[in-house]
Amino acid sequence: MSTTIAERAWCVVVPHHARGAHLARHRLAHELDTLVTADRLDDAVAIAAELVGNAVRHAAPLPGDVIRVAWRLLPDDTLEIRVTDGGSPAGPELRVAAPDAVDGRGLTIVAALATHWGVERDGLGQCVWATL
């Protein structure tokens, strides 16, 4: 007899500020601590931090000066992380950073750690997502 694990989902709203990445990281780490392996948790925390950091640096906030961070653990053990903000004119894209550059590696880190990642736009903003 097999046991089916139900989908689990979480959503937090954090300030459109550098502190938002800190809050999102800690909440995600707390909620997933006993549900995923330590290595997977480290990757998920890094992805969430990069996506929220990018939203703070490059995108407008959602109404209320916030960013929405959601994640869900699916029955097949897929972990999906979604960061929704008010969007930006250029949209997120991978960049090649010079070796001595102090930034420009966020989505490259996400792409290296995630199985897939992408961007969805709905006219109200954008959501950058990644799966592990």
What is the predicted pLDDT for the residue at 1? Answer: 45
Compute how many other C-beta atoms are within 10 angstroms of the C-beta atom of residue 24. Answer: 27
pLDDT greater at residue 68 or residue 123: 68
3 pLDDT more than 60: no
For residue range 21-30, what is the model confidence (pLDDT) as tens digits?
Answer: 999 999 999 9
pLDDT greater at residue 70 or residue 123: 70
What is the predicted pLDDT for the residue at 19? Answer: 93
Q: What is the dihedral of CA 84, 11, 45, 7, to 10 degrees?
A: -120
What is the predicted pLDDT for the residue at 5? Answer: 66
Structure-block tokens of residue 82:
């979604």
Mean pLDDT of 51-66: 95
Across the chain, what does the average pLDDT equal?
A: 89
The C-alpha angle with vertex 85 and arms to 26 and 130, in degrees rounded to 5, equals 60
- Those residues whose C-beta lies under 8 Å from the C-beta of residue 83, and which sit 6 or more positions away, are 24, 48, 51, 52, 54, 55, 67, 68, 69, 127, 128, 129
